[in-house]
Structure 1
């Protein structure tokens, strides 16, 4: 994390900043969003990439109280708020990322051709993480290690699972640099000298064979600003209803044309990964096809409850309930039917739409009948029928801290639901809560 403006208690540790409810409210209502970026240069001094940095306001320093939330906001603002082309041009963006988000859907909103996953120094490596990094690298992502300052056995063990190593010139003893750089180069990894602040440090890094350079000597982070893009909850609900009912491209295109704010964010989302096609996508129809309904649904859901409320998203109890319930139902559906993605998607949508009547101030039947929702989802919510209805009952009980496990083993429960043991349900609840926490800062 090459951000010398961060509020820190000591190198490598983010200082947690207290934020009052009033401060959060002001931030949520601010007319603009902000993003920091710092250049990463090659040996000739040409621009190679940017590191993308969280900024809460126009001031050029980071106020980070939650690493996952900061990363989520950086990604949301780059892709949907400002736009990848405006932020990065044709270069790559390095994004700081912690362990939880490495396993989360947010990774797949980023294009491997445009984003480098920069692993925070606080992340510990184990077999599960190594497998995940293998999956992401096979998908095309490059993985960078952040804030390296010494040659340890731990570093040697993780080098095979990464592509880039950023060595911290503010912390690393000068006498240790030659051996550290040589060991990384011997593994064929790209070496970045970060926090380079003097001409002497730049010359030393060049002599030691570093490939890329970043720091005050070259440029301080620049703060980018864009108007906050708010989308109508009603529009997002209609879009999600169409997606849940397997609507055709013509129907989706017609709905999106009525909602320019959503269209702007969708085009930014798809264009963030369109360079692999050799062209930008400019039409709605192309955007829908290229993005895919699953990604559009994910993005719309993240926007849905963020707009129009009186509280910041993270503080809104309705938002918390919708986010955790939908994710819980999706995870439970995957546990029950691991190979049935359609069932998992329907479960996710059922969780989202189960609270629509609260948003609209009406009954579930009235709200859903107006949306023309798929019958299996509508019946699950209104009548609690079918497997989705049973899952919704279990999710509702979990919301209220009631005995959800007994519902899974009841006589009327569908076949296979006995697999949702108390231990499994507890684990799914924790995973759902973590997912919401990671996404609660997206705008």
Structure 2
């Protein structure tokens, strides 16, 4: 499949789909709910860390991804996509569902009459725009600002003094503000006070260790069940423990009947759920429920739940691709992926968590030290999430695990879709 690009009177040129890596980065609102993902692409044939260095090639990849079904990548959220002058003047937009995307005009785009006219046309067609990496209100920004709904500010390149100066101007212009590269809660709190509407970064996935932190009764109940499962307790004992907690019983039945499970007939009892699921499946749903539990108290943990579920599924799929005939490797890989964010979930050091949950040494090594093959899988997933910072590690790990970029993209699409469905049904 080809897309073409035209700029001015230049002849159309093909936009080639090459091997690429795909990443999505969550965008949250002021209430910490997931509202969108920025989609990032990086060519697999380069070690360059700049993921927007070849947007012409990226345009073809976007078209390709859209044909596969962009909803598989972003679920029910919006998708933010980088565009430059070449992409803006291309025919890519016939492939994009305008109600599902926000187009980010990269900071190198010059506000020429031709570009302004093109964006005006696309706005009339129903497309929405954001200005990317704004660090000043220069002439180009001022010309493009009336056509954009959102202004993105990269906190890495923005001193606080400049942030305090620029923010009121864009708010006065009635623009939504999106803080990018939010790395910690302090940055989030600062931008929240300044009136920012959206926040992009992995601050929500970083553990804030609290001394003396205690688990909630529901979390303790789930942890007890996980211990019973791993210690091969009788089904009757496990069933009795589940029935002691009405909320746990209800949520387990709701989860096992979710579309992501693929159960053909509705499961109406705990005993039936235990028979249908089996021990390994039960353990993974208990792990998912640990992330879902805070949602019941009104705490929006959906982004963390989605990230953990997606990581778990991606690691499981990678393991199955590498060792297709060894089911237990996939189960172990899933556990590594979903447990990798429990220090954030519990605000406790991972070492303390592993003292309460029995895991094999390979899982412990992966979670504490990122070593062994499960550690390699986890590092690959983490590098994909931060694709613009991964450097050559991405290619190195893909090669070490015996994968290709095409393999990884296929597995990611499946993991994205599964994680989104699970989060919607669990939260």
- TM-score in same-fold range (> 0.5): no
State TM-score, norm by structure 1.
Answer: 0.40
